[in-house]
Amino acid sequence: MRWPKRQHSVLPGFGLTLGIAVVYLSLVALIPMAALFLRARGLGWDGYWETVTAPRVLAACRLSFGAAFIAAAINAVMGFVVAWTLVRYRFFGRRLIDALIDLPFALPTAVSGIALTTIYAPTGWLGRALEPWGIKAVFTPLGVVIALTFIGLPFVVRTLQPALEDLEADVEEAAASLGARRHQTLLRVILPAITPALLTGFALAFARALGEYGSVVFISGNLPGKTEIAPLLIVTQLEQYDYEGATAIAVLLLVVSFVMLLLINALQRWSGRRHARGA
């Protein structure tokens, strides 16, 4: 490997700090992740395909992708309402609520999991309200969606807030003075300007929801083929010493994570360009 050439700089410590960063990152993250791909290679293409198309794996992936998508969509809509309210309106308790938005980041996932299960159980505070409608949340796919919505909320709100704050008032004033009704301004002026941020938030929430484990396993009930999510299936197969099966699903999740990461980077560059243009 050729040592990266740095541009001339008078500051010291380039070799030392880059060395620490690269060595540590390799030891802790890159080499162990390489182990995963090498292990999967042992399966061969046919073996890999056979493993990930087994009915139980397919069902788990369908639930994981589907529930993550629905949760991210709910968050895109409600996250927009929340971000809009927090940025545009002044009301009692606004600052407290703003600080509370990050709770799903800060609260350990196991705690979120048991708390959500207790609330949405048929005897729980919110489960009781759903029961007369015949809606069951705990141990159903709905429970998975609830947990994933909780986990993804801060991603959309925190991505949208700066974008909404950056909107110039004069653009909306211009729209209004040209005769646009308020909902037309929203649809034709505001929404296009914040679309990159909204998509970024959606993608972040989706990516996080896809791999989420702790907050889901308590509320989902983990019935194979029904409420078993892909990360849980990895754990189950690991407990049965089926390393190949676990590795195959993990590679699938990891590849999707990489793609999401690249997509999110591209989206952020897009929204960055928009901000630079002053749109």
Partner 1 sequence: MSLKPATAEPRWVRTLLVAATLAFLGAFLVTPLLAVFVEAFRKGADAYFAGFADPAVRSAIRLTLLAAGIAVPVNLVFGLAAAWAVAKFEFPGKSLLTTLIDLPLAVSPVVSGLIYVLVFGLHGWLGGWLQAHGLQVIFAVPGIVLATMFVTVPFVARELIPLMQEQGTEDEESALTLGASGWQTFRRVTLPNVRWALLYGVILCNARAMGEFGAVSVVSGHIRGKTNTMPLQVEILYNEYNFVAAFAVASLLALLALVTLAAKTLVEWRMAAAPASVLIAGDEP
Show contacts with partner 1 in window 142-201 (CB under 8 A). Answer: 149-150, 153, 169, 172-173, 176-177, 182, 185
Alpha-carbon radius of gyration of the chain = 23
Structure token pair of residue 133: 């409608």
User: Least Å distance between CB 119 and partner 1?
Assistant: 5
Q: How far is the CB of 46 from partner 1 (least distance, A)?
A: 21
Question: For residue 24, how far is the Cα from the chain centroid?
Answer: 26
241 φψ region: left (φ > 0), alpha (ψ -120 to 50), beta (else): left
Binding of partner 1 at residue 54 (CB under 8 A)?
no
CB of 232 to partner 1, least distance (A): 8
Does residue 272 belong to the site contacting partner 1 (CB under 8 A)?
A: no
CB 198 within 8 Å of CB 84: no
Given the rule CB under 8 A, which of 19-27, 43-51, 132-140, 158-166 is the region that contacts partner 1? 19-27
Q: Does 133 bind partner 1 (CB under 8 A)?
A: no
Q: How far is the CB of 213 from partner 1 (least distance, A)?
A: 4
Q: What residues contact residue 138 under an 8 Å CB cut-off, 6+ apart?
A: 117, 120, 121, 122, 127, 219, 221
Burial status of residue 207 (CB atoms within 10 A of its CB: 0-12, 13-18, 19 or more) = buried
Q: Which is nearer to partner 1, 140 or 157 (CB)?
A: 157
Q: For residues 196 and 230, which CB has a smaller minimum distance to partner 1 in the complex?
A: 230
Residues 56-75 that bind partner 1 (CB under 8 A): none
Spatial distance between the Cα atoms of 127 and 144, rounded to a whole number of angstroms: 14
Interface of this chain with partner 1, residues 212 to 231, rule: CB under 8 A? 212-214, 218, 231
Cα atoms in the 13 Å half-sphere on the side-chain side of 220:
28
Specify whether the CB–CB gap between 254 and 36 falls below 8 A: yes
Segment 85 to 114, residues that bind partner 1, using CB under 8 A: 85-86, 88-91, 97, 99-112, 114
The site for partner 1, by CB under 8 A, has a size of: 94
Q: Which stretch binds partner 1 (CB under 8 A): 47-55, 136-144, 192-200, 235-243?
A: 235-243
Does 276 bind partner 1 (CB under 8 A)? Our answer is no
Q: What is the phi/psi pair of residue 242, to 5°?
A: -90, 75
